[in-house]
Structure 1
Amino acid sequence: MSPEKTRVTRRQLLRVSAGTAAALGIGGSAAASADPRVIDADASSGTLQDEATEGSGRYTDIYEETIDDVVLVNVFGTDEQDPGGLGSGFVVDDYVVTNNHVVRQASEAELQFRDEQWRTGEVVGTDVQSDIAVLSVDDMPDGSDGLSFADGTPEVGTEVLALGNPLGLDASISQGIVSGINRSLPSPSGFSIPAAIQTDAPVNPGNSGGPLVNLDGDVIGIVFAGAGQTIGFAISAELAERVAPSLVEDGEYEHPYLGVGVLPVSPLVAEANDLEDPQGVLVTEVVPDAPADGVLEPADDEATVDGDAVPVGGDVIVAIGDREIPNQELLASTLALETSPGETVSIEVIRDGDRETVDVTLESRPETDLP
């Protein structure tokens, strides 16, 4: 994507102002992050209402910092088989990022910015496996400076804001926290989308493709879907940062591929396989001609434990490089975020009761027949 802009943006000015206020002891990030239910016993005056007002004021600041970079994405349908759709997106550098399922097979989409003017966005790259799409815009509004992806994995409990167009209502904001990390989301490709973020910030149809931001105004995820009961999901910024630049440059992204089916090592599986601890993942299948074929060994038998049939005899993956693999989610996210096609990785396994390390050269995921 394009180099970092050198001009001072409105967001930078707001951040500088907030930092200056904190340094002078008149508010800023420390006050905004404080529990609004707590009153300073040493303060000469102050009320819960004042504290709550400061917190809500911080949300207003973030909204004003970011909303010019949030767009409504409208895709016109052609027939009953392709009905079109409505979603959200946001500016990163000089491009608009959204969900693949928002643009679908379209070559362009109509984008409405906060200035109420419509622009035409050309779809320059899509990736169904991560559900990310990127569009180019020739005449980006002056107020759209672009959002930044946050670094690293957010902590559970981090306060977040979802921006977008729920039910077609433009320029909307909702508030919540990060409820969970390393979730797996469904993908029509048959591969799951790893390293996803769970949130209780209300998201609805129309929010898809919009940003989930932290209180620094940085994007921690791309809103994927809401599941009701205050559960929503977002594609992680860590994955988006790998995928989006490749879509801009090449129109596609190649995901690393190992080629195994696995099962979590539960206490039942651990007992059947004489494992000391219920940790790691048992290889139950190795895809023929996949990178793991001939290197990793799948389960080849079954044992009955308390009346349940349990696969036995396969390798148990416990680490990739220096990264421990306690479950399926960490296996998927480690491969997705820390490896690339063509890279040779060291995989530590428990085989026949002994620990050993094998090397596997990853490939690109094979194409799949989409529904």
Structure 2
Amino acid sequence: MASEQLSRRRFLAALGVAAGTAGCQSPGSPGSEHGGASATDDGTTSSAGGETRSGTEYTAVYRAVADAVASIRVYDRDGRGAGGSGFLVDGDHLVTNEHVVAGADEVYARFADTGWRPVSVVGTDVYSDLAVLRVGDPPDGVDPLSFATRDPPVGTRVVAIGNPFGLSGSVSEGIVSGVDRTLPAANNFSIADAIQTDAAVNPGNSGGPLVSLDGDVLGVINSGGGDNVGFAISAALARRVVPSLLRTGDYEHSYMGVALQSLTPLVATANGIDPASGVYIDRVLDGGPSDGVLRGSTGTETLTGTEVPVGGDVVRRLDGTPTPTRQEFSTFLALETSPGDTIAAELVRDGETRTVDLTLGERPAPG
């Protein structure tokens, strides 16, 4: 995998990524909107230093990555079809979204230079919306893609590659416009640590890669909305889930057995919490891992005409990691814990700070 990543980066550098970086100018200087490059009459670009090159860094990353991206087509037992995208992560397997293959009776994949071929589902995880498919005969000479090993900072330039509306091999560009987002999942759970992007994402992009200009996969595209807002399952979460799907066909998520609520100003005021930081425990499920350890709401109060819960614990740290919001809370559980782990929860109860030990369970199967 390391040699494949190195060869891709060398290829990207040869196609002009380095030249694009060298041409950067400070904000407000001429040509800064295009990284210091200006157009010439013949359609090529000229860098600030006078070097002319064909295409852009987006062209380079597309050429390096696109052959590893596949169109996915699925059919249910009644013959109804749907489509999405996927990408090679090793010589035999594709990663896509769980929702792309959910309920499929037959699954097919097509690469840029091949016809449709049947593929099999190795494993799926509805709670991360990830799935792994086995390709019987992958195309020769195509390097699998590698998941990034570090979280991308906001503003990182990215490209989304996939098959929107069935238009195979499409690319759109943008930036990482947000991190640590939560997305809805089955059974009122959420997918933690998602990446937000303004790259155009449309039906059919699901399961395709969101890649950096180095060709590393920053996320698995999950969904798109209006106003240039799209989301991807983070590489950090995929690095935990995908190997388990390859080994066993499923993945076990940590489970606390609580219903959470954001600590809004009204909830904080009603519960005497100052500063308003932490995650409010609204309900503890009977028989769950938190039963007898954490406390949920004991009643409600009305403030400014709004009924708000009171009496529940407010968790501020998990194993020493601050959890000022539900996003940080969910991300810690998703990326740092496993079922069976015992963690220390620092919380505020009845105006006093205390720490309790909580042994995590396994999230129940959807249904």
* Residue from 66, 86, 93 that aligns with 1:89: 86
Q: Where does structure 1 lack aligned partners over 5 or more consecutive residues?
A: none
SS in 2 for 1:247: helix
1:48 is aligned, of 34, 38, 57, to 38
- Matched to 1:67, the amino acid is A
Aligned partner of 2:226 in structure 1 is 228
**1:308 alignment partner in structure 2:** 306
Q: Which residue of 2 aligns with 1:67?
A: 66
TM-score normalised to structure 2 length: 0.89
- Residue deviations 1:11-46 (CA, integer Å, cap 9, x gap): 143146479x95xxxx25443x657973499xxxx8
Residues 72 and 7 from structure 1, CA distance in 2 versus in 1: closer, same or farther, beyond 3 angstroms?
Answer: closer
Matching residue of 2:43: none
Q: Please name the residue that 1:78 is paired with.
A: 77
1:250-277 deviation digits (Å, cap 9, x = unpaired) = 0000110011112111221121111121
Q: Residue 206 of structure 1: CA displacement?
A: 0.7
Partner residue of 1:364? 362
Q: Whole-Å Cα distance in 2 between the matches of residues 333 and 327 of structure 1?
A: 10
Question: 1-side partners of 2:173 and 2:251: how far apart?
Answer: 32
**CA distance, structure 2, for counterparts of residue 235 and residue 7 of structure 1:** 23
- Residue 246 of structure 1 aligns to which amino acid in structure 2? S
Write the mapping of 1:109-188 to structure 2, written as runs, cut at 5 A.
109-188=107-186
Q: Distance in 1 between matches of 2:316 and 2:172?
A: 39
Q: Which stretches in structure 2 are left out of the alignment for 5+ residues? A: 40-45
* Cα distance between partner residues in 1 of 2:95 and 2:5: 23
Task: Confirm or deny: 8 A CA contact 2:128 2:185 kept in the other structure.
Answer: yes
AA matched with 1:60: T
Change (3 A) 1:281 1:321: same
2:29 maps to: 38
Task: Name the CA distance, whole Å, in 1 between partners of 2:331 and 2:131.
Answer: 20
Q: Contact (CA 8 Å) 1:102, 1:208: kept in 2 or not?
A: yes
Once the 2 structures are TM-superposed, how far is the Cα of residue 179 of structure 1 from its aligned partner? 1.5
Residues of 2 paired with 1:40 and 1:272: CA distance?
54
SS of equivalent residue, structure 2 residue 61: helix
Counterpart contact for 1:291–1:360, Cα < 8 Å: yes
RMSD: 2.5
Q: Counterparts in 2 of 1:266-345, with a 5 A limit?
A: 266-345=264-343
Task: Indicate if the aligned counterparts of 1:68 and 1:113 stay in contact, CA closer than 8 A.
Answer: yes
Output aligned runs, 1:213-224, within 5 Å.
Answer: 213-224=211-222
Read off the aligned partner of 1:307 and give its amino acid letter. G
By how many angstroms is 1:283 displaced? 0.7
**Which sits farther off after the overlay, 51-60 or 226-235?**
51-60
- State how far apart, in whole Å, the 1-side matches of 2:31 and 2:366 are: 59
1:286–1:296 Cα contact (<8 Å) kept = yes
Once the two structures are TM-superposed, the CA of residue 181 in structure 1 deviates from its matched residue by: 1.5
* Deviation at residue 196 of structure 1 after TM alignment: 1.1
Whole-angstrom CA distance in 2 between matches of 1:218 and 1:159: 12
Q: Counterpart of 1:78 in 2: which secondary structure?
A: coil
Deviation at 1:51, TM superposition (A): 4.1
Q: CA deviation at 1:314?
A: 1.4
**1:262/1:113 CA distance change after superposition, 3 Å:** same
- In the TM superposition, what is the alpha-carbon distance from 1:322 to its structure 2 partner? 2.3
Work out which of the residue numbers 95, 100, 114 in structure 2 matches 1:102. 100
Q: Report the alpha carbon displacement of residue 185 of structure 1 after superposing the two structures with TM.
A: 1.4
Cα offset for 1:8? 8.6
